[in-house]
Amino acid sequence: MDGKSVVAIVRGPRKPDEREVDRMVRKVVALAGGLERLVPPGATVIIKPNLVAPVAPERGATTDPRVCKSLADQVRELGGRAIIAESSAIGGDTEEAIRVCGYEPLRAQGYEVLDLKKETLVTVPVPKGTVLKELRLPEIVVRADAIISVPKMKTHDQALATLAIKNMKGLLPDTLKKQFHTTFGVFRAMADLNSVVKPAFSVVDGIIAQEGLGPVFGSPVEMDLLVAGRDPVAVDTVAGLIMGIEPAGMETTTYAAELGLGVMDMSSIEVVGTPIDAVKRRFKLASEALEETLHLPPGFELVFNEMACTGCRTGVLSSLWDLSEQGKLGVLRDTRIVAGLMASPPPASSKRTIFVGACAGKSRNQGEFVKGCPPNNVDIRAAITGVVDSSFLTKH
């Protein structure tokens, strides 16, 4: 097994209490190699949860504070400084998320919990960048000795699943979060980001996971498990397999592996603790949940080329769901939405046509165009309705 990336899986009791969660976290960390080499005395360690929105962890959208508390305790026990730090979704109030997600009591107990939107930014180069040459990041993150990524196990309407690698997007200021979609292409940009702030350790919170309309509005799934390791690509590969998602389907994982940030070939990964087959469960994807939910008006046509990637496909569907929730699907009557890379333009149509995403951009002169790779849901909805509306959270 020498040379393989070790990924640990630990399943706990149903509805574990705080002491049981602490035991689970300590066990999965130890099985994955421990924190000792990562946290010498005096080291500063950023613990990065997913607090995309002010949604309680039992909904399956945000990281359980008990997991971060246990990790902070372990860092402190090794003589390090533990900082739980996050920046919620574009336009979101991180302080409200900290409160609703259960992190305010940790502050009262003396733990450092930071809103990264309030922190000083510095510019850092991206030497391995494929689409990025530099980044603006919080100085406290850049100067940290190690980062522990603590994502939630959940589906995502633009990336199939959002796990350890994509969780690092929460380190960005809002302007860059937006540009990752509109300018750089979010999947390659996420790999570039991780090449600069690669997590030294990752712990996926699958105590209460989420399937369906993630990353916020999905259905909770009690899994009572944690997945951990030092290689974030391997961790995401194993967590994806637990969810029934093949690694090659997750662009963030694929591009991170291409940059040499870890391995996604299972022959190069050693799974310890509980076997994958003992805990795997096929999660309903966001696109599946959306197609079941939507009741579209007459004359609406959705054209997804077979090469339309997950980002555009589910971004469009989730934008339609947003409009459905607002009772605005009627604006789609006699409208055509086109997305994906096409060898030749789609046939002309008398319908109002909206081309979505960079790949469909070559046909933009035939209708309206929404730029981005993939575009942000706010921009897709704005093109459909003619109104910029950020009442639904943009993607984290």
DSSP of 290-322: HHHH--PPTT-EEEE-TT--HHHHHHHHHHHHH
Q: How confident is the model at residue 280 (pLDDT cuts 50, 70, 90)?
A: very high
**What rounded mean pLDDT belongs to the chain?**
91
Mean pLDDT value across residues 219-245? 98
Q: How confident is the model at residue 344 (pLDDT cuts 50, 70, 90)?
A: confident
Residue 297: is the preceding peptide bond cis (ω within 30°)? no
Q: How confident is the model at residue 310 (pLDDT cuts 50, 70, 90)?
A: low
Query: Of 28, 7, 4, which Cα lies nearest the Cα of 16?
Result: 28
User: What pLDDT was estimated at residue 325?
Assistant: 85
Q: Does 31 or 160 have the greater pLDDT score?
A: 31
Mean pLDDT value across residues 88-102? 92
Mean pLDDT value across residues 148-152? 98
Is the predicted pLDDT of residue 50 greater than 60, yes or no?
Answer: yes
Tens digit of each residue's pLDDT (9 = 90 or more) over 109-122:
999 999 999 999 99
Q: What would the two tokens of residue 128 be?
A: 């391995």
What is the 8-class DSSP label of residue 342?
-
Strands 201-211 and 219-229 come out as antiparallel
User: What pLDDT was estimated at residue 395?
Assistant: 45
User: What pLDDT was estimated at residue 157?
Assistant: 76
User: What pLDDT was estimated at residue 375?
Assistant: 86
Residue-level length of the chain: 396
Would you say the C-alpha torsion 381, 386, 390, 391 has a positive or negative sign?
negative
Q: How confident is the model at residue 343 (pLDDT cuts 50, 70, 90)?
A: low
Mean pLDDT value across residues 322-332? 90
Q: H or E stretch including 251? A: helix 251-258
Is the predicted pLDDT of residue 191 greater than 80, yes or no?
Answer: yes
Q: What would the two tokens of residue 250 be?
A: 């997750």
Is the predicted pLDDT of residue 307 greater than 60, yes or no?
Answer: no
Mean pLDDT value across residues 290-313? 75
User: What pLDDT was estimated at residue 31?
Assistant: 98
User: What pLDDT was estimated at residue 1?
Assistant: 45
Is the predicted pLDDT of residue 348 greater than 90, yes or no?
Answer: no
Is the predicted pLDDT of residue 146 greater than 80, yes or no?
Answer: yes
Q: How confident is the model at residue 165 (pLDDT cuts 50, 70, 90)?
A: very high
Q: H or E stretch including 189? A: helix 186-196
Name the percent of the chain lying above pLDDT 90: 68
Q: H or E stretch including 235? A: helix 232-242
Is the predicted pLDDT of residue 201 greater than 80, yes or no?
Answer: yes
Q: Identify the weakest region by mean pLDDT among 148-152, 301-305, 355-359.
A: 301-305
Q: Identify the weakest region by mean pLDDT among 63-67, 73-77, 367-371.
A: 367-371
Is the predicted pLDDT of residue 151 greater than 90, yes or no?
Answer: yes
Instruction: Report helix, strand or coil for 272.
Output: strand
User: What pLDDT was estimated at residue 105?
Assistant: 98
Q: Does 311 or 363 have the greater pLDDT score?
A: 363
Rounded to whole angstroms, how far apart are CA atoms 125 and 371?
A: 26
Tens digit of each residue's pLDDT (9 = 90 or more) over 203-229:
999 999 999 988 888 999 999 999 999
Query: What amino acid occupies position 84?
Result: I
Q: For residue 81, what are the CA distances in angstroms to 94, 113, 173, 277, 295?
A: 22, 12, 23, 37, 51
φ and ψ of 372, to 5 deg: 125, 160
User: What pLDDT was estimated at residue 3?
Assistant: 87
Mean pLDDT value across residues 186-201? 95
Q: How confident is the model at residue 396 (pLDDT cuts 50, 70, 90)?
A: very low
Mean pLDDT value across residues 30-36? 98
